[in-house]
Structure 1
Amino acid sequence: MRKMGGKKLHAIMIGFFYQGHIAPFQNLAIKLASSGCAVTFAHNEFVHHMLSKAEGVNVEKADPFLVARRSGLDIRYATISDGFPPDFDRIVNLEQHWEAIFLDFPSRVDKLIGDIIHKDDEAFAHFLVADTFYPWPASIARKYNILNVSFWTQPALMFATYYHYDLLVEKGYLPIKGDEVESKDPAFNTSITKKIVAEAFEQVKQADFILINTVYELEHELVSDMHHNQPTYAVGPLNFTTDVALPKSLWAEADFTSWLDSKPRGSVLYVSFGSLAHSNRQLAEEIANGLLLSGVHFVWVIRDDPQVLPDGFEDESKDQGLIVSWCNQSAVLSNPAIGGFLTHCGWNSILEAIWCGVPMICYPFFADQPSNGELVVDVWKVGINLCDGTSVDRREVAEKIKQLMSAESSNSLRDEMNKMRALMLRALDEDGSMQANFLQFFNDLWDRAEARAEEAEEEVDSD
């Protein structure tokens, strides 16, 4: 644990507001504090409200880092408004919300950071840690002359793709279809999503350090290549690095452990398309009928609207499966009854599936998901695609489910998954790549902070 005259580095962390970003970002805060940093972590106010409601805790008294602080970690907690009330639907009103993130939110962040620095005279130096998708970190870090750490919660493959987008277009590799990658969810085929990516990667090219929540052994070539451009470190998987209790879910979680425990080992298919993908009725109907045809036990998470299901499906399938609105995905995947995962290929879902050794059926929707699915199916060979054509058909769904859930036909997938799981476990060993890379980042951060402090002293002396 490095200190300068008894003083610590102080991380100011501005949390992102989508479910898939919350857990790794909070775990990064624990990792920094465990390494000797002071941390001030700020959630968006509406995230604070949702976390509190999901936990059944009074909003005024809720503090996600209370247990961590009681364990001796130096983590302070704050909230910051994005300008909208807690019940404002930020997904339905995606464009309106993001315009505010571009125009109004930076001034709120600026004030928060200014207040923290002004009131804190115990830190050796402050540094900013923000999600790569935020469009303001470089300018605010520059204003306060603090180091800027960008945190990327998707795979290094997508980071490199966005980072080199212009070069890929110039070489003819992109665009894939029209002006952007095709998405199954029209809400994400908008000009605002292109603006978010463009602004984010203009900002990230000015970051002092880049952290990626990936396993070095899975993407070492990409991470090493990025490191030649800017200091870049694979510090994942952060999802499994702490035992400190942290509220991470934006919705209340159903507990059906007793139901799972009553099922034979490897007999249940877990189905979830994450927190952002919206199921349409046609897709839900084909999957529902495919599940019935397969005869396989299942748990299906439908967060947005259970009315997308075919009429009578819940009654017809009541002896075969469960339909829930949300759950603790890691806990479910780790249950011995789970034998497969039908997934949208969100990065957290893939990491959790590997951690639990569960092979996947892939049906990606948008953003990084299609590329993640290619990694799962074509590169790592730990999953299969839900459909081989352009549309989902119930008979093909049933065939793919049976293929995945049959121990005989999925032997090779499970063998490869066991290798991947062992690799991930090694990365998290005390002398594994995750710890080594994080330590290297931390030391480099200290060295840069000391150099800046010396430069500042020299400027004062010269004046």
Structure 2
Amino acid sequence: MAKLQQRVHVLAVPFPAAGHMLPLLDLAHLLSARYGFAVTIAVTPKNLPHLSPLLSRCPGVAPLVLPFPDNTNFPPGVENAHDVPLCDIRLLMRELSGLHDPLLRWARSCADRPNAVLSDFFCGWTNGLATELGIPCLVFSPSGALCLALVHSLWRRMPKTSDPDDPDELVPFRSLPRSPFYPWGHLSTIYRRYVEGDPLSEFIKASYLANIGSWGFVVNTFAEFEKPYLEHLRDDLGHARVWGVGPLAPPMGAGERGGPSLVGAEEVAAWLGNCAEGSVVYVAFGSLAVLSPAQSAALAAGLEQSGARFVWATRGVVPLPEGFEKRVAGRGLVIQGWAPQVAILNHPAVGSFVTHCGWNSVLEAVAAGVALLTWPMGADQFWNARLVEEEVGTGVKACEGRDAVPDPDELARVVAESVGEAGRARREKARELARRAAAAVEVGGSSYMDLAAVVEELSEVAAASK
């Protein structure tokens, strides 16, 4: 790579939800620590604490704290998707666009003007900001390349359903690799809520279409995992500026991120240390999903009947059946708070993972070499589940749907098989994929080289602007 002639300055605009913000911060760290970029991250006051671990380790990354835009849609102080987990996420997408004018004023008055905008794909309005500043907009996808390809297809084609009450009606995506069909109910809720002429709907549509016309895309994935979809995106967009740079991970020594855990990492490690290799099932559903009492009871019964060892991270919001913990004592560990998920997944004792298939959880499992028992509930999770089940071969369905209640007997069978002889081939395939993930981010690997290509192109842009 050519020597940088000057320091590149990037304005990063994350979307305020943990699953979006944290991987973008990991990318900002790489750009600054490895390549010497200056990165300014636009953040509102209540989201500033999320940056603290990064800011303490990377002097090249600086926050730009801006007041959250005035709005009437949220209670005072709400600035993050996790503050109102049941809100219409589209409202937060729209309200955040109120940062456009403050960012424009800051950039125009800044002595070291940014050379590029790096924004989450929920912030399509930043493409207009970049245009006004005369700089490229690089869209960051915290989801995978398959998700991005499907989203682009949806907003370009605008497929409709003949019966909105039929979630099983199949929608074709013939331009994508393998020409898949997806049930209407598995499509993005953001898309399914679109109503022609509705101001909020039209804002969302314009945002996604603006993304499609952006200068380039950086995706939290790697070629050995999603090569057909990365290639499809390049062909579909008509340029090569689509880069897979994952799996993105926190800087070394940064530790786990999230809320406080009522069970410490050392205690979990000690418990897992008494278990045989690949014998433990880890159960967790991300930062937003909350199981109903019926779902929790069925899951508890399935785990109990399976006979398998397990660690269940409930985040303290899942109601457990009376006496459950006592009955499974010694065989099951329940964490009533935030769990050290990455450490758990990377422990040799863990062989499978019951997950909602959020992309960050999928990538963490991939990097750890752990097989997946899928229970997708919304967003891109159905697509991610299908990817690991049908194309990659490291996952098997445990349940499906936000309101679905699994059959305890069937769940017990799937759980037991996942850590038994019947699941051996899947676990071996998962370990092989983990080796490829590790190689991708090492020097000379596909993700390492793609990030170097991003740096090279942005450096040329910066040089041309002087």
Structure 1 counterpart of 2:62 = 76
What SS is found at the alignment partner of 1:384? strand
1:169 to 152, 155, 159: 159
Q: Distance in 2 between matches of 1:375 and 1:177?
A: 15
Structure 2 counterpart of 1:354 = 366
Q: Please give the per-residue CA displacement for 1:178-212, whole angstroms capped at 9, x wherever unaligned.
A: 5x5368xx999755997786343112023111111
1:364 CA drift (Å): 0.7
Structure 2 counterpart of 1:300 = 312
User: Would the alpha carbon gap of residues 279 and 128 (structure 1) be closer, same or farther in structure 2, given more than 3 Å must change?
Assistant: same
Q: Distance in 1 between matches of 2:256 and 2:66?
A: 18
Q: TM-score, normalised by structure 2?
A: 0.82
Structure 2 counterpart of 1:268 = 280
Q: Please give the per-residue CA displacement for 1:107-137, whole angstroms capped at 9, x wherever unaligned.
A: 334314532552323x6x5211110111411
Q: Distance in 2 between matches of 1:148 and 1:188?
A: 23
Q: Please give the per-residue CA displacement for 1:63-90, whole angstroms capped at 9, x wherever unaligned.
A: 6311222xxxx22123334354159863
Structure 1: gaps of 5 or more residues: 53-61, 455-463
Q: Distance in 2 between matches of 1:110 and 1:250?
A: 33
Q: Distance in 1 between matches of 2:187 and 2:53?
A: 40
Q: Please give the per-residue CA displacement for 1:43-78, whole angstroms capped at 9, x wherever unaligned.
A: 3432334x48xxxxxxxxx56311222xxxx22123
User: Would the alpha carbon gap of residues 67 and 227 (structure 1) be closer, same or farther in structure 2, given more than 3 Å must change?
Assistant: same
What amino acid sits opposite 1:326 in the alignment?
Answer: W
User: Would the alpha carbon gap of residues 198 and 424 (structure 1) be closer, same or farther in structure 2, given more than 3 Å must change?
Assistant: same
Contact 2:376 2:399 in 1 (8 A): no
What SS is found at the alignment partner of 2:277? coil
Q: Distance in 2 between matches of 1:270 and 1:172?
A: 33
Q: Distance in 1 between matches of 2:153 and 2:414?
A: 36
1:292 CA drift (Å): 0.8
150-159 or 13-22, which moves further after superposition?
A: 13-22
Structure 2: gaps of 5 or more residues: 70-75, 161-169, 174-180
1:217 to 211, 214, 224: 224
Q: Distance in 2 between matches of 1:172 and 1:429?
A: 39
1:404 to 418, 435, 442: 418
Q: Distance in 1 between matches of 2:27 and 2:143?
A: 14
What amino acid sits opposite 1:85 in the alignment?
Answer: G
Structure 2 counterpart of 1:47 = 47
Matched, 1:153 2:142: yes
Q: What percent identity do the matched residue pairs reach?
A: 23
Matched, 1:66 2:65: no
Q: Please give the per-residue CA displacement for 1:353-395, whole angstroms capped at 9, x wherever unaligned.
A: 1211111111111111111111111111112111499751000
Q: Distance in 2 between matches of 1:367 and 1:12?
A: 27
What amino acid sits opposite 1:403 in the alignment?
Answer: E
1:427 CA drift (Å): 1.1
Matched, 1:421 2:437: no
2:111 to 93, 96, 120: 120
Structure 2 counterpart of 1:226 = 233
What SS is found at the alignment partner of 2:442? coil
Structure 1 counterpart of 2:300 = 288
What SS is found at the alignment partner of 1:237? coil
User: Would the alpha carbon gap of residues 331 and 100 (structure 1) be closer, same or farther in structure 2, given more than 3 Å must change?
Assistant: closer
Contact 1:210 1:231 in 2 (8 A): no
Structure 1 counterpart of 2:83 = 90
User: Would the alpha carbon gap of residues 380 and 247 (structure 1) be closer, same or farther in structure 2, given more than 3 Å must change?
Assistant: closer
Q: Please give the per-residue CA displacement for 1:340-359, whole angstroms capped at 9, x wherever unaligned.
A: 11111111111111211111
Q: Distance in 1 between matches of 2:458 and 2:287?
A: 34
Contact 1:265 1:338 in 2 (8 A): yes
What SS is found at the alignment partner of 1:130? strand
1:412 CA drift (Å): 1.2
Structure 1 counterpart of 2:322 = 311
Q: Distance in 2 between matches of 1:377 and 1:444?
A: 36
1:294 CA drift (Å): 1.1
Matched, 1:35 2:35: yes
User: Would the alpha carbon gap of residues 44 and 263 (structure 1) be closer, same or farther in structure 2, given more than 3 Å must change?
Assistant: farther
What SS is found at the alignment partner of 2:354? strand
Q: Please give the per-residue CA displacement for 1:259-308, whole angstroms capped at 9, x wherever unaligned.
A: 2223332222100111122211211111100111112221111236232x
Q: Distance in 1 between matches of 2:409 and 2:435?
A: 34
242-251 or 169-178, which moves further after superposition?
A: 169-178
1:252 CA drift (Å): 4.7
What SS is found at the alignment partner of 1:169? coil
What amino acid sits opposite 2:426 in the alignment?
Answer: L
Matched, 1:329 2:335: no
1:142 CA drift (Å): 1.6
Q: Distance in 1 between matches of 2:48 and 2:204?
A: 25
Matched, 1:393 2:407: yes
What SS is found at the alignment partner of 2:227? helix
Q: Report how many residues are paired.
A: 428
1:203 to 204, 210, 213: 210
Contact 1:157 1:219 in 2 (8 A): yes
1:164 CA drift (Å): 1.5
Q: Distance in 2 between matches of 1:253 and 1:420?
A: 32
Contact 1:149 1:207 in 2 (8 A): yes
What amino acid sits opposite 1:11 in the alignment?
Answer: V
Question: Where does 1:177-196 land on structure 2 (aligned, <5 Å)?
Answer: 177=183, 180-181=185-186, 190=193
Contact 1:67 1:244 in 2 (8 A): no
